[in-house]
Structure 1
Amino acid sequence: MSSDLTITDKQDGFTQNQIAALQQMGVQDASQGDLAVFFHEVQRTGLDPFARQIYMIGRRTKVDGQWVTKYTIQTGIDGFRLIARRAADRSHEAFGEPVTAWCGPDAVWREAWLDAKHPPLAAKVVVQRGQGTFTGVATLEEYQGTRKVKDQDGSWHAEPTSMWKSKPAIMLAKCAEALALRKAFPQDLSGLYGDDEIQESDPKEEQKPAQQDDQPVQAEVMASKEQQDQVAALMRQGGVSKVSQAETAFKALVGKPISLPEQMTHEEAAMLLEAPSLVVSRTRQALSQEAPDASR
């Protein structure tokens, strides 16, 4: 089956087996035009959709009074870095490590953000390509990801997603880096957006039809098998050996009550794997805090 999913240079579109696999990954409502655009981006970037390096996310929106699914092609920051590295290698240009800084209300840029109680208001990333430097600045107000919450009176309000609430400095830095990389490699990255750059629409502007319980729509890309295995291994290093411990660890790591790695989203897993030592230490800390309660 894996060979059936391999995309070759001779293809001019997805095969039926590849389309069937994509449909299982959440694009079953995509039109032939959507799939054609997606295939073009897959070939242009060299990223593998079946390894979750690049994917198409569907979101419901209202157009001329009708509810339709609109697709956005997205990748993680690792996909951006891979594309940039390949492009620099092809042109035999230097590609420097991104330099990141954050600032708060005082507008002073800092190399590390140490205020755990208050998120940074902006992040700046500088990327070097050849002899040029390219800067991306992302502000919290413009990029903070939100989710829709329905109040008791039936109205909607937006609040930060779990990842933006728990790791705002890292999330903001990833958005700034995507901006900088897109400036440095416009031919290779134009039209491609990172996971963390995409926000939900304003709750007042997007709601599902009444027959669908009036809940907001957002497709989620779940963690790949490789991501699941890596996170599970890190949690085992942190002392997790049973389901109850996994639930405690996941609540501390991603802020929601899950017990299995396959219940993580791609975004959550990618964020954890960017700081493996932190995953191990936070897991140990969460289990140690839980132990006294369990003994009572």
Structure 2
Amino acid sequence: MSEIEQHRGGSQLTLTTDQAWWSEKQIAALGQLGVAGASNGDLAVFMHVAQRTGLDPFARQIHMIERQGKWTIQTGIDGFRLVARRAVDRAGETLAIGPSEWCADDGQWRDVWLAEGPPAAARVTVYRNGQAFPGTALWREYVQTKRDGNVTHMWATRGAGQLAKCAEALALRKAFPMDLAGVYTTDELERDQRQPASRRTGGLGAALNAEQPPPDEEPVEGEVVEQPASAES
């Protein structure tokens, strides 16, 4: 039994590691999850990434969402941690994730962020088999804004935590380049600009002959993406 099957318990929605294409039941479930306009090529990539990472799209461990006219594959920071944990377990290695730290413009690192304004940077170090892999994220490079230029609600209210997740994702990607290559969290991306479903064509959307309502403008917290969104508006 494959690793994915073991985690899914062999249900009819189980995506196996040797599966060549989505089953009819899986296609129907993907439609319910909002993947209604992806092309067959996008769906093929989604299957490959789900099989490679061992994350279950039907348990909402991994998602495919349209951004700026392109479909991106995403998971939360917990998905990163799960992929890393499975990798070290297979290799008989050790894994430790250090505490988050933040600093202001003075460059002095703090183990807790108490200031009213946002931090200038956050850093997290991942230790794989004793080797340190630090990740540092700058606020000016990762803060997300809405179409009107204002900071999104999540970043305005939980900015220190959001920035720390970006730093941890960077560190995990350094420590596990083969397992997390090309995968990014939503927190690492620029403003979300997904299109309404009425503008989507072909692929699963055509097969289902159904439109989904446009998603919320706020990004989904803590997602991970197979490729970063374009910087163009």
The Cα offsets for residues 164-210 of structure 1, whole Å up to 9 and x where unpaired, read as 00011100000000000000000000111113122226xxxx7979x
| Residues 218 and 137 (structure 1), Cα distance of their counterparts in 2 relative to 1, 3 Å cut | farther
Instruction: Give CA deviations for 1:41-93 in whole Å, capped at 9, x if unaligned.
Output: 00000001111111111023xxxxxxxx2011111000000000110111111
Aligned to 1:239: none
Match of 2:95 in 1: 95
Aligned to 1:16: 24
Give distance in 2, aligned partners of 1:208 and 1:179: 28
The amino acid that maps onto 1:144 is: V
Provide the rounded CA distance (Å) in 2 between the counterparts of 1:24 and 1:37.
Answer: 19
- The AA in structure 2 aligned to 1:139 is L
Where do 5+ consecutive residues of structure 1 fail to align? Answer: 61-68, 149-156, 222-263, 269-296
Structure 1 CA distance, aligned partners of 2:190 and 2:214?
10
Partners of 1:16 and 1:82 lie apart in 2 by 28
Q: Distance in 2 between matches of 1:266 and 1:125?
A: 22
Out of 145, 159, 170, the position equivalent to 1:168 is 159
Q: Count the aligned residue pairs.
A: 199
Report deviation, 1:30. 0.3
Deviations 1:23-51 (A, max 9, x none): 22122110000000000000000001111
Q: Show the counterpart of 2:175.
A: 184
* 1:6 equivalenced with 2:14 (yes/no): yes
Distance 1:26 1:58, change over 3 A: same
Aligned-partner residue type, residue 6 of structure 1? T
Cα 1:208–1:73 shift into 2, 3 Å: closer
Whether 1:78 and 2:74 are equivalent positions in the alignment is no
Question: When the two structures are superposed, what TM-score results if normalisation uses the length of structure 1?
Answer: 0.62
Cα deviation digits, residues 242-277 of structure 1 (max 9, x gap): xxxxxxxxxxxxxxxxxxxxxx98528xxxxxxxxx
Indicate how the Cα distance of structure 1 residues 168 and 140 shifts in structure 2: closer, same or farther if over 3 A, else same: same
Do residues 114 (structure 1) and 114 (structure 2) align? yes
| 8 Å Cα contact 1:99/1:127 also seen in 2 | no
Is residue 200 from structure 1 mapped to residue 191 from structure 2 by the alignment? yes
Distance in 2 of aligned mates of 1:48 and 1:8:
10
Give the alignment's TM-score, normalised by structure 2: 0.78
CA distance in 1, matches of 2:99, 2:214: 33
* Pick aligned residue for 1:158 from 149, 155, 168: 149
Which residue of the partner structure matches residue 140 of structure 2? 141
Deviations 1:209-254 (A, max 9, x none): 9x99xxxx97459xxxxxxxxxxxxxxxxxxxxxxxxxxxxxxxxx
Identity %: 52
Structure 1's 181 and 208: CA in aligned 2 closer, same or farther, altered over 3 A? closer
Structure number with higher helix proportion: 1
* 8 Å Cα contact 1:125-1:177 kept in structure 2: yes
- Give 3-state SS (helix, strand or coil) of 2:63's partner: strand
C-alpha separation in 1, matches of 2:98 and 2:31 = 36
Q: Give 2:50's aligned residue.
A: 42
Query: Distance in 1 between the 2:129 and 2:143 partners?
Result: 31
For CA contacts below 8 A with separation 6 or more, give which structure has more relative contact order: 2
Cα displacement (A) at 1:96:
1.1
From 203, 215, 221, the counterpart of 1:267: 221
What's the secondary structure of 2:33's corresponding residue?
A: helix
* Structure number with bigger Rg: 1
Provide closer, same or farther for how the CA distance between residues 208 and 26 of structure 1 changes in structure 2, counting only shifts above 3 A: closer
- The structure-2 alpha-carbon separation of the partners of 1:218 and 1:199, relative to structure 1 and needing over 3 Å to count, comes to farther
Structure 1 contact 138–175 (Cα < 8 Å) conserved = yes
Deviations 1:122-151 (A, max 9, x none): 101111001311011111111112211xxx
CA contact under 8 A between 1:84 and 1:181: conserved in structure 2?
yes
